[in-house]
Amino acid sequence: MVFKKMIINSLNKHFWRLYFKVYDRNQSEPYKHLLVEGARQMVVKPSGYYLDLGCGSGNSTLAIGRLLGSNGGALGVDTSLYALERARKKSDFGGLNNVSFQQRDMGTTLPFPDGAFDGILANNSFYLVSDPQKTLVEVMRLLKPGGSFLMTNPKEAASSSAIFKEHLAAMKERYFSRYGQVIGGLALAGHATRAVYNYALLLPFQLVLRHSYKIESHFWSVRQWAEVIEGARRASPYPFSVREPYYTYAGQNHTFIFDRLPR
């Protein structure tokens, strides 16, 4: 039993190393939009302090950091040391001094005081926690009154092909409208080639990820998330409201925004 657990842990470690390498190659237009819009929704105060839960290799954290002033800060937390190492290298390369990273498990009670953050983001990570209701209560504890939490997760039966199609449509619109059909066609061909290559690389890992977490993870419907949210509302001593959910990432992700209310 112990030996089996060691093998599983080793496979998980290698899987995530490969996953983050592939994830960092994702230059699709829907993914870029997801990062930028999530950061814009969060950063309402350039001097604020923001938390990125399950930051992975730091793409969302860096997007937040780029919108902050010199007095602001963003903290990314993740369980993977390998992902955090990649995140730190990217922040150093980009010259961002207002972001930092720590190894933390977002599914546990985090060692930060009540109301420590002006805003919190969980971008494609919340579905991996074992008890999302408990984690949502913890997020509300960490938020300042008036702060917001943005959570985006893959919807039930999310489609990778829809993301790919939206990327190609965005490339076609950009290059054909700006530079004319000849130059645009050449540019689009290059982006299409790269998009196909990235999609081909990413798809196997998405399939493995879906298979590996089909029991533990939560690719849920809006109705299922509504039940979790209502349970957290009843359990939390920190009152909050939730806005109408909407779709992002080529319509493949549910996005919820929670607002922390005064007690």
Please report which confidence band the pLDDT of residue 247 belongs to, taking 50, 70 and 90 as the band edges: confident
The model's pLDDT over 10-65, given as tens digits with 9 standing for 90+, comes to: 445 555 555 555 555 555 556 676 777 888 888 888 999 999 999 999 999 999 99
Distance in angstroms (rounded) separating the CA atoms of residues 210 and 157: 10
Q: Residue 85 class from Cβ within 10 Å (0-12 exposed, 13-18 middle, 19+ buried)? A: middle
The model's pLDDT over 232-246, given as tens digits with 9 standing for 90+, comes to: 999 999 999 999 998
Distance in angstroms (rounded) separating the CA atoms of residues 122 and 144: 16
Residue 182 predicted with pLDDT over 80: no
Angle at 97 between CA 93 and CA 103, to 5 degrees: 85
The alpha carbon of 140 is separated from its chain's Cα centroid by a whole number of angstroms, namely 18
Residue 216 predicted with pLDDT over 60: no
The model's pLDDT over 55-82, given as tens digits with 9 standing for 90+, comes to: 999 999 999 999 998 899 999 999 999 9
Strand partners, 149: 120, 258
Coil, strand or helix at 217: coil
